[in-house]
Amino acid sequence: MELIIGHLYPDLLNIYSDMGNIICLSQRCHWRGIKVTIKAISLKQKLEWQKYDLLFGGGGQDRQQLIVSQDLQTKALALREAAQSNLPMLTTCGSYQLFGHYFKTAKGIKIPGISIFDAYTIASQQRQIGNIVIKLNNPQKFQSFSNNSLKQTTLVGFENHSGKTYLSKTSRKTQTLGQVIKGFGNNGEDGTEGAIYKNVVGTYLHGPVLPKNPHLADWLIKTALERKYQRSIKLQALDDQLEWQAHQAAIKLAKKGKIW
Ligand code: GLN
* Cβ proximity of 124 and 105 under 8 Å: no
* Cβ proximity of 190 and 196 under 8 Å: no
| Mutation test residue for ligand 1: of 8, 14, 17, 61, the one with most atoms within 8 Å of CB | 61
155 is in which domain, residue-wise?
2-256
The whole-number pLDDT of residue 34 equals: 98
Question: Ligand 1 centre and the CA of 169: distance in Å?
Answer: 23
Q: Which amino acid is at 144?
A: S
Q: How many CB atoms lie within 10 A of CB 141?
A: 12
Q: How many CB atoms lie within 10 A of CB 33?
A: 8
Residue 215 is among the residues annotated as catalytic for this protein: no
Whether the per-residue pLDDT at 144 is higher than 90: the answer is: no
Ligand 1, atom 5: nearest CA belongs to which residue?
94
Residue 206 is among the residues annotated as catalytic for this protein: yes
- pTM beyond 0.75: yes
- What does the mean pLDDT of the chain come to? 95
Return the percentage of the chain with pLDDT > 90, whole number. Answer: 88
Return the percentage of the chain with pLDDT > 70, whole number. Answer: 98
pLDDT tens digits, residue range 56-71?
999 999 999 999 999 9
DSSP state of 235: P
- Cα 206–158–188 angle (5° rounding)? 110
Q: What contacts 194, CB < 8 A, 6 or more positions away? A: 96, 134, 176, 177, 178, 185, 186, 201, 202, 203, 204, 205
- Three-state DSSP state, 161: strand
CA dihedral over 229, 232, 238, 240, signed as positive or negative: positive
pLDDT tens digits, residue range 92-107?
999 999 999 999 999 9
Question: Ligand 1 centre and the CA of 1: distance in Å?
Answer: 35
Q: How many independent structural domains does the chain possess?
A: 1
The whole-number pLDDT of residue 71 equals: 98
Q: What is the CATH number of the domain that holds 138?
A: 3.40.50.880
**Which atom of ligand 1 approaches the CA of 62 most closely?**
1
Whether the per-residue pLDDT at 251 is higher than 80: the answer is: yes
Helices assigned H by DSSP within 41-93: 62-84
The whole-number pLDDT of residue 169 equals: 82
